[in-house]
């Protein structure tokens, strides 16, 4: 580096502009390491985090790592600039195991603060090679160094240090060191005897740490010590015992979890202090504590914890955990929830319904049926879904009664509210319980059909369609004569599901005075396997209502695509060609069907629509050709680069790029010279980049 440039870098390191200082730090990489490192160390104390970060990056990647590491250790002595000291610590951790020899040497430094901070760096690096030296440092003259060494052993996972840690726990004079050793013992997740920490269990300052470590102990006495600690007057000890017992539960085989819970419940002494505080902490403790308490109270399965658990479940972060632990209670939880119902808030009652959906106790079904009359709509919906999930056949009468009440209150079934939820519940019960439940449900619905509201009849048609039994066809045909065209449309849809090949009732729907019903007939024909269904669709394709014609054209595509042998394609294409000539929405529907049918024969028909004056129809035709055309067919799209509508031009470009038609590159380049629309220009640039990469 020339002297002048070097001077500029040094000057910029002192500049008031932080960006110039950052750039100067970057340029220090052109200095020799011995020249650069002192300036980088100085930059670690810069007021700008961006400058400090740049210095950290340069030092961590220094080609003379040993030299840089020694300089960084010296920076740890800076008592005047904590920012530089912290940045030096971060940098040393970033250097990783490569700096280990220098760091291990520094653990013998005469400066206590340096020794302690170097130990922290070793913990951050996490290399097991530091383990032997860290074990030695458990005997350092300074208590802070010994405590840091214990914490580092736990962080790194030095399993061989268990005996050393136990020695510190028993014999070190400093409580700080003993507490750090207990924390390390817990992090190592290794077993030891309760007697090894007996003294710590008797000391209030150390008790929580000792209890936390006992979660990993295989000593049978550990379980007893932890259960006893649940009665401790200190909250921290009680909650440490909870955490440790959960760790013990997680360590048993899956097949033994229930036995562990039984053992815990047998040992439980009924501590009122623990329960009162635990229930309170479910409301306001940190999330990790609440999560642990939910899991632990789930293991205890106490009646008095049902309400607090459900209240805790109102928090979205805990709701699934609460549901899971209450589900482990089995069907017996139904009675506990029922007994606690009056103490639950409306939100908790709603959550309780989700629990009852996962169980099968008698109390649960009764409680859910009673909840159908609740003034709270959220609770009613939760109860409906739970009854459906349970497949509660006893609820059918209540469900049909509730449906009648809802539909009499001005409810609109099309809004998909409670009426739809009731219909869903009825269908799910039938699906769960089979033909007997279906007979009962249809009988209950039939008893109320006469004189019922339109919405009730609409729901009945929905249920009949979803149940799908041949024996219900007469009931569906009766609904086809309903005074409401919405009900007749629903009955038409139900008939298509239950008996798609029944002809006469469907032809009645095709001649219905309501376009809504005729559209339903077209949709029903789409799912028919009859070869002559195309004739019925041809009739609807000539309907006076454009919406019916569009539905018929879409149905043609669905019907033809469902004919596995392709025998209906010729008739379908002939009908769709007529639809294309009608233009407008009918032509759009015809193009959608052509794209669905596919094959080379659809391309000539779609190509004819490229001359349409409606840009949307042209785009639909492009989509069809782009999906089914050959490369030769696609190359003809180039002519559309001059189309008056920008969306057509962009669509043609995008299709050619997607289909990798590299022959279109020259035309795209010419188009780019004259194109003024920014969207089309962007599409052209993206297409050119894609195609040029493929062309090599």
Q: Given pLDDT bands bounded at 50, 70 and 90, which one contains residue 584?
A: very high
How large is the angle between the packed helices 454-467 and 435-449, nearest 10 degrees? 160
Query: Rounded CA gap, 517 and 511, in Å?
Result: 9
Mean pLDDT of the chain: 91
Examine the pLDDT at 133 and tell me if it is beyond 90: yes
- Where do the structural domains in the chain lie, given as residue ranges? 635-696
Task: Give the pLDDT band (50/70/90) at residue 270.
Answer: confident
Residues whose CB falls within 8 Å of the CB of residue 45, separated by 6 or more in sequence, listed in order? 52, 78, 81, 83, 84, 87
* Other Cβ atoms within 10 Å of 88 Cβ, number: 28
Q: How many CA atoms lie within 13 A of 521 on its CB side?
A: 32
Q: What does the pLDDT average to over 83-98?
A: 90
- On the question of pLDDT at 218 being above 80, the answer is yes
How much is the average pLDDT of 587-599? Answer: 93
pLDDT score at 355: 94
Contact assessment for residue 422 and residue 382, using Cβ atoms and an 8 Å cutoff: no
pLDDT digits (tens, 9 = 90+) for 342-395: 999 999 999 999 999 999 888 999 999 999 999 999 999 999 999 999 999 999
Question: Nearest-5° angle of CA 449, CA 455, CA 458?
Answer: 70
What is the pLDDT confidence band of residue 414, given thresholds at 50, 70 and 90?
A: low
pLDDT at 695 over 70: no
Give per-residue pLDDT as tens, 141-196.
999 999 999 999 999 999 999 999 999 999 999 999 999 999 999 999 999 999 99
DSSP state of 61: T
Per the CB < 8 A criterion, the answer to whether 413 and 419 are in contact is: yes
The string of pLDDT tens digits covering residues 67-76 is 989 999 988 8
Q: Distance from first CA to last CA of the chain, Å, rounded?
A: 42
pLDDT value at position 410?
67
pLDDT at res. 1: 59
Asked whether residue 45 carries a pLDDT value surpassing 70, the answer given is yes
Contact criterion met (CB below 8 Å) for 309 and 333: no
**pLDDT attached to residue 650:** 94
Return the half-sphere exposure (C-beta side, CA atoms, 13 A cut-off) of residue 196. Answer: 24
Can you give the pLDDT at residue 313? 94
**Rounded Cα distance, 538 and 525, in Å:** 11
Token pair in block for residue 677: 């629309």
Residue of 61, 81, 59, 82 whose CA lies nearest to 72: 59
Report the range of poorest mean pLDDT among 199-208, 241-250, 448-457: 448-457
Select from 538, 612, 522 the least CA-distant residue to 575: 538
Give the pLDDT confidence score for residue 61 in this predicted structure.
Answer: 86
Tell me the pLDDT band of 455, cut-offs 50, 70 and 90. Answer: confident
Residue 283 parent element (H or E) = helix 272-284
- The reported pLDDT for the residue numbered 691 is 85
At 413, the pLDDT band (50, 70, 90 cuts) reads low
pLDDT at 646 over 70: yes
- Is residue 628 over pLDDT 80? yes
Rounded Cα distance, 202 and 536, in Å: 89
The CB density around residue 543, as the number of other CB atoms within 10 Å, is 19
Give pLDDT, residue 411: 64
Residue 685 has pLDDT above 80, yes or no: yes
Distance (Å, rounded) from C-alpha 437 to C-alpha 431?
Answer: 8
CATH number of the domain located at residue range(s) 635-696 in this protein? 1.25.10
Residues 6 or more apart whose CB falls under 8 angstroms from that of 672 comprise 681, 684, 685, 688
What average pLDDT score do residues 52-61 get? 91
Residue 489 pLDDT greater than 90, yes or no: yes
Q: How much is the pLDDT for 692?
A: 79
Q: Look at residue 567 and tell me whether its pLDDT is greater than 80.
A: no
Number of residues assigned to the chain = 696
Residue 210 has pLDDT above 60, yes or no: yes
Average pLDDT of the residues in 264-287:
92
Task: Report whether pLDDT(450) > 90.
Answer: no
The token pair at 622 is: 């492009």
Maximum separation of any 2 CA atoms in the chain, in Å: 103
Neighbours of 380 (CB within 10 A): 21
Work out the pLDDT band at 624, boundaries 50, 70, 90: very high
pLDDT at 468 over 80: no
The Cβ of residue 471 has, within 10 Å, a number of other Cβ atoms equal to 12
Q: How far apart are CA 596 and CA 216, in angstroms?
A: 62
Please name the residues in contact with 582: beta carbons below 8 A apart, sequence gap of 6 or more: 549
Region 494-504 average pLDDT = 83
Nearest CA among 51, 54, 67, 62 for reference residue 17 = 51
3-state secondary structure of 182: helix
Six-digit token string for 467 = 């149940």
* pLDDT more than 90, % of the chain: 68
Average pLDDT over residues 492-508: 85
pLDDT of 212 reads: 95
pLDDT at 8: 86
pLDDT at 696 over 60: no
Residue 565, pLDDT > 90, answer no
CA distances (Å), origin 427, targets 73, 372, 496: 73, 17, 17
- Per-residue model confidence (pLDDT) at position 106: 94
Q: How much is the pLDDT for 415?
A: 63
Q: What percent of the chain has pLDDT over 70?
A: 98
Cα separation, 308 vs 293, in Å, equals 11
């Amino acid at each position: 580096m020339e002297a002048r440039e070097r001077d500029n870098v040094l000057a910029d390191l002192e500049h008031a502009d932080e960006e110039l200082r950052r750039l100067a730090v970057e340029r220090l990489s052109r200095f020799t390491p011995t020249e650069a490192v002192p300036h980088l160390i100085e930059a670690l104390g810069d007021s700008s985090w961006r400058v400090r970060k740049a210095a950290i990056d340069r030092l961590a990647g220094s080609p003379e790592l040993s030299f840089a590491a020694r300089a960084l250790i010296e920076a740890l002595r800076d008592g005047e600039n904590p920012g530089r000291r912290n940045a030096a610590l971060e940098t040393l951790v970033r250097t990783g195991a490569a700096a280990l020899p220098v760091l291990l040497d520094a653990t013998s430094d005469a400066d206590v603060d340096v020794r302690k901070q170097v130990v922290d760096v070793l913990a951050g690096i996490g290399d097991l090679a530091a383990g032997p030296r860290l074990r030695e440092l458990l005997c350092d003259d300074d208590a802070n160094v010994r405590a840091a060494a214990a914490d580092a052993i736990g962080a790194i996972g030095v399993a061989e240090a268990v005996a050393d840690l136990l020695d510190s726990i028993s014999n070190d004079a400093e409580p700080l060191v003993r507490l750090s050793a207990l924390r390390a013992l817990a992090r190592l997740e290794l077993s030891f005897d309760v007697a090894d920490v007996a003294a710590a269990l008797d000391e209030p300052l150390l008790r929580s740490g000792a209890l936390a470590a006992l979660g990993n102990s295989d000593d049978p006495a550990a379980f007893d010590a932890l259960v006893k600690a649940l009665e401790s007057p200190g909250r921290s000890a009680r909650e440490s015992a909870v955490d440790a017992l959960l760790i013990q539960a997680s360590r048993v085989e899956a097949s033994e979890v229930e036995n562990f819970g039984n053992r815990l419940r047998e040992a439980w002494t009924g501590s009122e202090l623990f329960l009162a505080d635990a229930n309170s902490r479910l409301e306001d403790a940190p999330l990790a504590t609440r999560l642990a308490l939910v899991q632990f109270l789930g293991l205890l399965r106490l009646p008095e914890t049902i309400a607090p658990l459900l209240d805790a479940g109102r928090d979205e972060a805990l709701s699934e955990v609460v549901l899971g632990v209450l589900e482990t209670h089995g069907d017996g939880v139904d009675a506990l929830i029922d007994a606690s119902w009056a103490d639950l808030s409306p939100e908790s009652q709603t959550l309780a319904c989700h629990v009852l959906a996962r169980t099968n106790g008698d109390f649960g079904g009764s409680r859910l049926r009673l909840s159908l009359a609740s003034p709270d709509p959220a609770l009613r919906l939760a109860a409906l879904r739970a009854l459906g999930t349970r497949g509660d056949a006893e609820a059918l009468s209540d469900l049909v009664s509730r449906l009648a009440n809802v539909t009499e209150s001005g409810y609109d079934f099309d809004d998909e509210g409670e009426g739809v939820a009731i219909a869903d519940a009825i269908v799910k019960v039938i699906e769960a319980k089979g033909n007997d439940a279906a007979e009962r449900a249809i009988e209950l619905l039939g008893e109320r059909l006469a004189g019922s509201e339109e919405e009730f009849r609409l729901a009945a048609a929905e249920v009949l369609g979803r149940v799908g039994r041949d024996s219900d066809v007469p009931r569906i045909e009766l609904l086809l004569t309903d005074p409401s065209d919405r009900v007749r449309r629903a009955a038409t849809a139900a008939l298509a599901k239950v008996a798609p090949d029944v002809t006469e009732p469907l032809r009645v729907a095709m001649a219905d005075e309501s376009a809504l019903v005729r559209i339903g007939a077209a949709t029903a024909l789409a799912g028919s396997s009859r070869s002559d269904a195309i004739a019925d669709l041809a009739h609807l394709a000539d309907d006076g209502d454009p919406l019916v014609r569009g539905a018929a054209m879409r149905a043609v595509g669905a019907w033809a695509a469902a004919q596995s042998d392709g025998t209906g394609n010729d008739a379908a294409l002939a009908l769709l060609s007529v639809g294309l000539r009608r233009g407008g929405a009918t032509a759009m529907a015809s193009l959608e069907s052509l794209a669905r049918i596919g094959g080379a024969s659809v391309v000539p028909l779609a190509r004819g629509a490229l001359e349409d004056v409606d840009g949307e129809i042209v785009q639909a035709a492009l989509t069809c050709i782009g999906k089914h055309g050959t490369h030769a067919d696609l190359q003809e799209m180039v002519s559309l680069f001059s189309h008056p509508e920008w969306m057509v031009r962009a669509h043609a470009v995008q299709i050619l790029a997607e289909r990798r038609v590299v022959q279109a590159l020259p035309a795209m380049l010419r188009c780019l010279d004259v194109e003024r629309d920014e969207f089309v220009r962007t599409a052209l640039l993206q297409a050119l980049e894609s195609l040029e990469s493929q062309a090599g």
